[in-house]
Structure 1
C-alpha cells in the first residue's frame, strides 16, 4: 500500500470551515427492486477534502453519478451553493461541479492542450453563427481558452505535454490530464473517482500534492478511493458507505478506529486473516 505524506493545512481555505458548497439530502437510488443508495446525506464545505470509502459494491460510484446528474435519484435532492441542481450533467457542470471517472475518459487522438480546452467550452459564449463564421469574438475566446488550458496544464505538472497526444502519455499523466480538464470547467467542487487507481507510490504522492493544491484554491474536493492510507492522510472528513448507506462519518482518526469499518471490510468470521494496520494512518 502506498505512502502519502500529510501536508499541513496552512491556508485560509484549509480548515474546511467555510460555506457549505455541496449538500446531498436523503439521496435514494433504486434500480427496480435493488436499492443502490439509501437516504445518504453529505455536506461539503469550501476548502474541504472529503473522502468516500467502502467495500466494493457499497454504492460509492452510484452516489457520485447521482451527484453529477448521470443518474436521476429516485428521491432526494442535491444542492450546490444552496441551489438545487437538476439531474442533467451539462447543467451540473455549468452550476460548478466537475468530476473524473474510474476509467480514464480522454480524447486519445487529441493533444493534452486540446483535451483541456474541451473543458473550457462550457464557459464560452460564442453562438453557433459566430463559431461558423469565425468572427472576432470566436478568435478572442479561442485565444483565451488556449491560455487558460496551458495554465491548467502547468498547474497539474503537465506543462511539457502541450502538443503530445493524450493516448501517448504515461498512465499517471493521463490521470492528471483528466483532473486538468475537470478544472477547466471552473468548478466549485471537484469529484475524483479513484484518482490513484493503478498508480505507483511516486504517482500517488503526486496525486496527493495536486489535490492539496486544488484545495488551496478554495475549491472543495470529494474523493472515492480504496487506498486507506491515501484517504486518511488526505481528508478532513471521511464517510464510509456499506450497502448504499452511511455506516460512519467523522475525522480520519475516528473512522479508521471504528470497529464497524473494520467489520465492513473484513467481516467477522473466525478464519478471517487480516492485518488491521491496513486501516491505520501512515505515521509519515
Structure 2
C-alpha cells in the first residue's frame, strides 16, 4: 500500500450503509443514569458529531460503544454483529478510538507507538516471537513499514525516532490517530481531538479527519468546539443529561433553541444567538 492511501476505501455498494448502530443504550452507575435509552446510527464514510454540555454522558456513551462498559440495557451493533463488551474484540472487529486525555507511551518513539497499535493484526505466536523466527521477522518488518506509512499519512514523516513525550502537543494528538489507524479500522472514534490545540493545529486536525473520511472510514467525533464540529460533520447528535436531545444536520442542530439553552442557558436574548465557540472540561 502506498503511504498516501494506507486504508482501503469502502466500495460503492457499501458507501452510505449503516456501519454502527446503538439501540436504546442505557448506562447506570448505582442510582445514577449516565446514558438513557440513546439510539445512534453511523453510516460508512460519514462524519458524525456528538456534542453536549459537560456531564451530558458523551464519553460514557463512547465507552459503551467501544466495549469499555457493558451497557445496563440496549445493544451496540457494528458491521452487522452485536459487539461484545471487550475492547480487544471491538478493535479486532474494526473499531478504534482515541481518548480525551492523551494515552501515548511517552518513552517509546513515535514509530514504536504506532507499531503497538498494529500488533492486533499480527499472527506470530509467543514461541515464534521469543525465538524471533522467520514469521516473526517478516511480520515485524511489515508492521514497521505500515507504521511509517501512517506517520507519513498523519503528517509526521520526520517524527519516526522521536520519543512521544518530546513531540509538540498537536503532534501527540496526530500520533494517537496514527496508532488508531494502525488497527485497520472501519470506524474511528475521536474523543475531543482538538482539546488544547491552537487555531492552526485545529485546522490541521480538521483536514486530517477529512482525509480519513475520504479513505472510506466512518468517523465519530466528540468535541466542545462548536465551530469545529459544525464545519466538520455530516450529522450531529446532541446529548443532554444522558438523553438524546436532537439529531440532524449541523444547521438543524445549531439553530435548535433547546441546544442553545443547554449550552448557554435561557436569557432575554439567548434564544437569538447561534451556538458557537468552545467549552472545556470533562464530557
Cα distance in 1 between the residues matched to 2:15 and 2:42: 10
Correspondence for 1:224: 222
Which 4+ stretches in 1 moved above 2 angstroms? 11-14, 272-280
Q: Matches of 2:30 and 2:91 in 1, distance apart?
A: 28
Distance (Å, rounded) in 1 between the aligned partners of 2:273 and 2:107:
44
Tell me how far apart the structure 1 counterparts of residues 270 and 257 of structure 2 sit (CA, whole Å).
Answer: 16
State TM-score, norm by structure 1.
Answer: 0.91
- Corresponding residue for 1:240? 238
Check 1:47–1:13 CA distance in 2 against 1; reply closer, same or farther (3 A cut). Answer: farther
1:276 aligns with 2:267: no
| Aligned equivalent of 2:187 | 189
Counterparts of 1:7-22 in structure 2, within 5 Å, are: 18-22=16-20
Q: Is the 8 A contact 1:172 1:199 kept in 2?
A: yes
Check conservation: 2:19, 2:78, Cα contact below 8 A.
yes
Cα deviation digits, residues 205-231 of structure 1 (max 9, x gap): 000000000000100000000000100
Q: Secondary structure at the match of 1:197?
A: coil
Which sections of structure 1, spanning at least 5 residues, go unmatched? 1-10
Contact 1:266 1:274 in 2 (8 A): no
Structure 2 runs not aligned, ≥5 long: 1-8, 278-283
Q: CA contact under 8 A between 2:225 and 2:276: conserved in structure 1?
A: no
Q: Give the Å deviation of 1:268.
A: 1.6
Distance (whole Å) between structure 2 residues aligned to residue 278 and residue 25 of structure 1: 28
2:125 is aligned, of 115, 124, 127, to: 127
Match of 1:8 in 2: none
For residue 57 of structure 2, what is the aligned residue in structure 1? Answer: 59
Aligned partners of 1:225, 1:13: CA distance in 2, in Å?
Answer: 29
Residue 188 of structure 2 contacts residue 218 of structure 2 at CA under 8 Å; is this kept in 1?
Answer: yes
Contact 1:13 1:216 in 2 (8 A): no
Cα distance in 2 for partners of 1:66, 1:12 equals 25
CA distance in 2, matches of 1:278, 1:13: 36
Inter-partner Cα distance in structure 2 for 1:160 and 1:93 = 28
Instruction: Tell me the matched-pair count.
Output: 268
Please give the per-residue CA displacement for 1:3-54, whole angstroms capped at 9, x wherever unaligned. xxxxxxxx9889x961111111110000000000001111101100000000
- Equivalent position SS for 1:143: helix
Q: Per-residue deviation at 1:279?
A: 2.9
CA spacing shift, 1:247–1:221, aligned 2, 3 Å: same
Superposition pairs of residues 1-284 of structure 1, within 5 angstroms: 18-269=16-267, 276-279=273-276
Please give the alpha-carbon distance, in whole angstroms, between the structure 1 residues aligned to 2:160 and 2:271.
Answer: 45
For residue 5 of structure 2, what is the aligned residue in structure 1? Answer: none
Q: Do 2:10 and 2:44's aligned partners in 1 also have CA atoms closer than 8 Å?
A: no
CA deviation vs aligned residue, 1:183-238 (integer Å, no higher than 9, x gap): 00000100000000010010000000000000001000000000001000000000
Q: Classify the secondary structure of the residue corresponding to 2:35.
A: strand
Is the 2:254–2:274 Cα contact (8 Å) retained in structure 1?
A: no
Aligned to 2:158, what secondary structure does the other structure show?
helix
Name the TM-score, length of structure 2 as normaliser: 0.91
Give how far 1:273 is off: 7.1
Cα RMSD, aligned residues only = 1.9
Q: SS of the counterpart of 1:161?
A: coil
